[in-house]
Structure 1
């Protein structure tokens, strides 16, 4: 009898940086964390490398192109909410094109904010990931109780 292996969703999150500012987007009519701020993000489609997924999401969500050499993986999070997930966090400071809201059916605001002045309604695991990044903490867990 073969034991079925545990699988979980994997996502990429993009920290677009402009000096000491980060681009946030406010979720809208998605059914998940609507009204709260996140960053451009999405699931890996399968058969897709992490940087390739971040490049795809950047184009789909904010209309910009990013060269793979301009992307840097800065963190990984093992997260539990309604299910268990693995999240990769990447930064970019250079891109081609103008940032736009390319998914107005899922996002009702794009906003640059100083890394020290995040709004109260940033999704908690995103807030933690930004803090981890700022503190050079490459790995983190979120939503777990360790006894």
Structure 2
């Protein structure tokens, strides 16, 4: 009989301070993880600490309020897989606390805000956004990062944090490569979903916008359409804007070439696609709840322009 290895999963607590239909949020910064995204007061459970004790400690440390443990109510459990790691998130809610919530750890957070649960700030940490939606719908359990990322035990970790600001500052005389890509969206009820391409290799998982170099005789729009089809399998594309929504410029991998690529906004009604490039697969994510992207310039651009995208779609 084969011995069974028991799997250990870390635990994280999230605390929802609720005032009517408003909740308290913070924006992450300078942490190296989801910086620029809004979230709840949260943190890992320490050794010899119960979940409730961790929740009480986190709100005291991060936002300076005192909560009676008896006033915390467990409203949701999230089973998540991010960056190849599996963990469980426990969401507690309270309507009673002492003190005024504010930023107590400015090295990690800024922009404290009371926001409507129906109008969360953009961008919100994706799994927090999904969990809050589940809580609003009355669901006590949800999963994140399992089906969308197609990960299981032994799956490669998502590669982020490799690229920093230096990749976007041209300091060396390297060849220029012209490329093009697509920002492909589709409507899903009241949501707008974004098409991302996922490429997996021995080094991990790369999540990014579809893009690639121009071929001889191609214009930028034609190249963008081709690259979208090759990397996502989407071919029914309506060009929303006759000019690039954004032009990105950075070093390529290895910093041996400087790449400049316009990104065109397309809308599609296709829900599935089979990429012609077998290294890639298509994944859809809510525009306001995207996963970490390999290229931070793309992530920052999407966070900055999501309102304009919604306006161009007349959503």
How do 1:43-122 residues align onto structure 2 when only pairs under 5 Å count?
43-82=44-83, 83-122=85-124
Q: After TM superposition, which residue ranges in structure 1, 4 or more long, deviate above 6 angstroms?
A: none
State the distance in 1 between where 2:5 and 2:146 align. 23
Structure 2 residue matching 1:113: 3-state secondary structure: strand
Question: Which residue number in structure 1 is paired with residue 145 of structure 2?
Answer: 143
Q: What displacement does 1:3 show?
A: 5.3
User: Deviations for 1:78-120, whole angstroms, at most 9, x for unmatched residues?
Assistant: 1011111101000011101111210000002111101111122
- Measured after TM superposition, the shift of residue 5 of structure 1 is 2.8
Stretches of structure 2 that go unaligned for 5 or more consecutive residues are: 151-315
Q: What is the CA–CA distance in structure 2 between the aligned matches of 1:38 and 1:110, rounded to whole Å?
A: 10
How far apart in 1 are the matches of 2:102 and 2:123?
Answer: 21
Aligned to 2:293: none
Looking at structure 2, the residues matched to 58 and 17 of structure 1 have their Cα atoms a distance apart, in angstroms, of: 13
User: Normalization by structure 1: what TM-score?
Assistant: 0.94
TM-score (structure 2 length as normaliser): 0.45
Q: Aligned residue for 1:131?
A: 133
DSSP 3-state at the match of 1:102: coil
In the alignment, is residue 30 of structure 1 matched against residue 31 of structure 2?
Answer: yes
Q: Which has the larger radius of gyration?
A: 2
- Unpaired stretches in structure 1, ≥5 consecutive residues: none
Question: What is the rounded CA distance, in whole Å, between the counterparts of 1:24 and 1:99 in structure 2?
Answer: 10
1:9 aligns with 2:16: no
Give the total of aligned pairs: 147
